[in-house]
Amino acid sequence: MTADHDLVHALRLQAEVCREFGSAFNGAMLAHMAADLEAGGPVAELLAPWRGVSRQKILHDAAPLRLVNAFTHLAMGEETPELARAYPRDGAPGDPATAWRLARALVPEHRAALTAFMAHEPQTNEVRRSGVLLGGFLTVAQATGLPLRTFELGASAGLNLLWDRFRYRLGEASWGDPAAAVVIPVDWSGPLPPLDIQPRVIARAACDRRPTDLADLAQRRRLLACVWPDQFDRLARSRAAIDLALAEGVVIESADALDWVRTRVRLQDGAATVLYHSIFWQYPPQPTRDGLELAIAELAAQATVRSPFAWLRMEPPADNLAMVRLDLTIWPGGESRRLAEVHPHGAWVRWL
């Protein structure tokens, strides 16, 4: 089978991104996968749904991450103990050459499971993104002087829904409960957001097309498989956030984002309503994005000083998925502000 050059390029690009963002293991695995694809190996069959599509479609669907995460998911189970031993664990970096040799040999036996995993877009639900969103929430609270009602799109398991229950370390500064189990360190540069503000969240809700049920061990395993396996601090934060979400009974509504905004999001007198999302916008089809913009405009038109509406988004531009920005618009008024340039996982923030 002839390799698809756009797919090979996407795998190698994602390998570079993983290495740049601190996952040497996933970077090496993706490089092995790219070579396998070029040679017509089993990777070609796993990536068959993306053969012949545009490079932009491959990247927007996050096909390389679906692939590498699928093998992480396989390595997490008791059914592949030898593969598990080659993966990073207990602080050890893992052996990607051995891991790929074993993983490649396991494809025929586990093809159905790998393919099923890849049919679903990645749901990293990266907890550290709350360290980015925090500045936006504090800015809304300061600008309006009102308690917040927060509504999240594409929330996955809802790990960022309890953002105000975390402890944040923003460079030398901090915000939140010092005793919080979930601690978010952020390499911060530029001015600080208004850390003297202590917003009161009086309502919170979230939706996802296919929400993760944290009480289901299989779904929890899938969620953790999307965290890069040699980034042990990310895994620890995710597990702490999972424990908190389970303890607080977080529930994510299963719904299409556009339908949910139209039927669920309403403004309320005496509170600021915030619609927010992070690394979500690239996944819905264009008609859904167009509909969301229209629904947001309709909510904006209803906003008053006593019932303001804010749209907070941590997203990349369509032409550069590695350049992520935090943007905020508050109505009435409707002035859109770029608050920051940020790391896709929330590791650093350049506040503008």
CA-to-CA dists, residue 115 to 64, 215, 248, 300, 322, angstroms? 13, 24, 33, 42, 26
Average of per-residue pLDDT across 333-343: 96
Number of neighbours of residue 4 by Cβ within 10 angstroms: 20
Q: Do 156 and 294 share a domain, yes or no?
A: yes
Q: Do 108 and 143 share a domain, yes or no?
A: no
Number of neighbours of residue 226 by Cβ within 10 angstroms: 25
Domain boundary among 84, 101, 118: 118
Q: Which domain holds residue 187?
A: 127-351
Q: What is the pTM of this model?
A: 0.89
Q: Do 180 and 158 share a domain, yes or no?
A: yes
Q: What is the dihedral of CA 75, 78, 82, 84, to 10 degrees?
A: 30
Q: Among candidates 127, 12, 170, which has minimal Cα distance to 20?
A: 12
For residue 238, give the DSSP letter.
H
Q: Do 265 and 285 share a domain, yes or no?
A: yes
Q: Is the pLDDT of residue 337 over 60?
A: yes
CA-to-CA dists, residue 267 to 130, 303, 307, angstroms? 23, 7, 6
Report percent pLDDT > 90 for the chain. 89
How many domains does the structure of the chain reveal? 2
Domain boundary among 118, 141, 172: 118
Report percent pLDDT > 70 for the chain. 99
Q: Among candidates 141, 234, 249, 248, which has minimal Cα distance to 184?
A: 234
Per-residue pLDDT tens digits for 56-77: 889 888 999 999 999 999 999 8
Per-residue pLDDT tens digits for 133-176: 999 999 999 999 999 999 999 999 999 999 999 999 999 999 99
Q: Do 61 and 166 share a domain, yes or no?
A: no
